[in-house]
Amino acid sequence: MSGSNRVASGIFASRAAGLLREIVLGAALGISPAADAFRTAMRVPNLLQNLLGEGSISAAFVPVYARLVEDEQDDEARTLAGQALGLLSAVVVVAVALIVIAARPLVWLTTFGGIKDDRFDLAVQLTRITAVGLGFLVISAWCLGILNAHRRYRLSYSAPVLWSVAQIAALSLALILGRSQEQTVRLAAFAVVAGSLLQLGVQLPSVRRLASLRPSLGRGPAMREVLSKFAPAVGGRGVVQIGSYIDLGLAGLLAYGALATIGLIMPLYLIPIAVFGFSVAVSELTEMSRERGGDGAVAARVRMAERKVLLPAGLITAGALGGGAIVIESFYEQTNRWLGRGDFSDANTTVMAATLAAFAIGLPATMTARVKQNALYALGDVKGPARIAIVRLVVAVVVGFIAMLQLDHLAADNLPSGPSEVATLESALDLSLSEGPLGTTQVGDFPSWPPWEPLPQREQLTTGTSKGTSLAHFGPVGLGLGSAVASWVEWQLLRRRLRARLLHPISGGLGLGVAIAAFATFVTARLIARIDLPPIINLLALGVGALGVYLGTLWFIGLRPRSRR
């Protein structure tokens, strides 16, 4: 089995467990204040994992360590491993302590003050718990870097299954015992810590056989090279992390439920990126770092990797655009109804499907951009991707901010049946309601002016019936559109930089053929979505029909998915 396939199998297992975790979380909490608080608590300490973890280690540590392993400099490699472990451990201890102490201002900053009262206090409490667990994940990322450099991919990418399993067990126990939502999220937060420790512990025996587990704060020549790349890598990851925090803060400016909507969508969006895009990029980073055939050989690996990524990207994007509602209804709405927990309506499904479609527009760019980014890392270029990440951040924030505030004035619900009911709801919300475009409900003015003002009375516009309304707003779709536009901008800039660096063709020439097959698949998905079948049967029909049409179209136009040329 190839390196990318081993990575993909491990990632698929961990992402499948993650999706199951989100389904159980959605069943236990629905679109509720406790769900928003838990999402916030998970995002704040993720600063550790994203800044210091896998992305930075892959960019700075893996290429240097893999080169030492390839050159059979075992003593130098073990020394470097111990020095990297020592530095990360020291930074993690300080960072976790700071997050625990400064949880209140951090939660406020990351949501721009968008969550208040009980949601805010609960988010602070949960953040102090989850910060400890996510500290373990940073050290787990160091283990992953060691295993990757030795081509031991499956264990490192399967280990996160334990992180999800711990939370699934805690959430299932809360459901069985009938715990309140606040009790449920506290139990889930402690499960985050337990799962993080399990994820680290399962990797340590294998790492111990390959590298030194003795932390050191020394700085040899190899460590100095890592540090010279680590700062730009952390800066690049910092930009990405800032972007995710800004997304969280912007979602806090939207009508109630936006945070939970984004949280439930993300696993569906990230699974294909991780399984098909990230797996190829990770394995190719190791191989490109150990490549001794020059720039031409690296360019050939980029073309092969892009082909591996682009073929599944077309299928998944078309399926998400055409059949996203089927996926959402099957995974979330039906599960919620079966378990009788949370508030999840057809309107929520409509908004989540539109949000997934918006993010999916940028999916092919995101998947292929990871290959180009890791190729630049392997070539020693860390600063270039970091600067491009800044551009991506700016584009995502500007486009997402404007689009989300406009779309927040549209809801997926039908207006009440009588004029008196409409008048009562308008009086309660202090906003006018009318029929909007494409069968939506218009709340206030659309388009809204000025474009930077959030929707008034947004805390009253709940997606659940407990506060009197059932409006589900399209604001999160705007964040998805901002992400999609930014992904294509990043793809173009990375492509141009890599071409200038290699001076060899880096495109596999599949773009037009994949686009044709994706369009045929999209039409098929829309037709299947119109068939009134039970959700699970509809989901199976979508999978079989979309895959058959996609592969058949590729075959008809002369593209062979298994061909390497």
For residue 222, what are the domain limits? 32-236
The residue written with tokens 């880096």 in the block is 506
The reported pLDDT for the residue numbered 346 is 79
The reported pLDDT for the residue numbered 468 is 39
Is 412 domain-assigned? no
The reported pLDDT for the residue numbered 564 is 42
Separation of alpha carbons 142 and 99, rounded Å:
21
Edge-first strand order for the sheet with 433-435 is 410-411, 441-443, 433-435
Q: Enumerate residues 6+ apart whose C-beta is below 8 A from 159.
A: 14, 140, 144, 199, 202, 203
Is 418 domain-assigned? no
Q: Enumerate residues 6+ apart whose C-beta is below 8 A from 9.
A: 1, 154, 157, 158
The reported pLDDT for the residue numbered 150 is 80
> Which residues of the chain fall short of a pLDDT of 70?
1-5, 7, 30-31, 44-45, 47-48, 50-56, 58-59, 112-115, 231-245, 248, 277-279, 281-287, 289-293, 336-344, 414-422, 424-430, 457-470, 508, 560-565
The reported pLDDT for the residue numbered 284 is 67
The reported pLDDT for the residue numbered 544 is 93
Is 517 domain-assigned? no
Is 555 domain-assigned? no
Q: pLDDT for 159-170, tens place per residue? A: 888 989 999 999
Q: pLDDT for 129-162, tens place per residue? A: 988 887 788 888 888 888 877 877 777 778 888 9
The pLDDT mean for the chain works out to 80
Give the count of beta carbons closer than 10 Å to the beta carbon of residue 421: 11
DSSP class of residue 420 equals H
Tokens of residue 92, six digits: 């993690």
- E-strand spans in 318-455? 410-411, 433-435, 441-443
Which H or E run contains 308?
helix 295-328
Distances (CA, A) of 82 to 57, 64, 76, 286, 514: 14, 14, 10, 20, 45
Are 140 and 203 contacting, i.e. CB atoms less than 8 angstroms apart?
yes
**Count of domains observed in the chain:** 1
Q: pLDDT for 173-192, tens place per residue? A: 988 887 888 888 899 899 99
Helix axes 221-251, 258-272, angle to 10 degrees: 140
Is 244 domain-assigned? no
Residue 559 carries which side chain, given as an amino acid letter? L
Tokens of residue 550, six digits: 């996609």
Tokens of residue 420, six digits: 């008196």
Separation of alpha carbons 155 and 151, rounded Å:
10
Separation of alpha carbons 99 and 110, rounded Å:
12
3-state secondary structure at position 473: strand
Is 67 domain-assigned? yes
DSSP letter for each residue of 442-468: EES-SS-SSTTSPPTTGGG--SSGGGT
The reported pLDDT for the residue numbered 467 is 37
Is 40 domain-assigned? yes
The reported pLDDT for the residue numbered 528 is 92
Is 66 domain-assigned? yes
Give the count of beta carbons closer than 10 Å to the beta carbon of residue 437: 8
Q: pLDDT for 340-378, tens place per residue? A: 555 567 788 889 999 999 999 999 998 888 888 888 887
Are 50 and 237 contacting, i.e. CB atoms less than 8 angstroms apart?
yes
DSSP class of residue 340 equals T
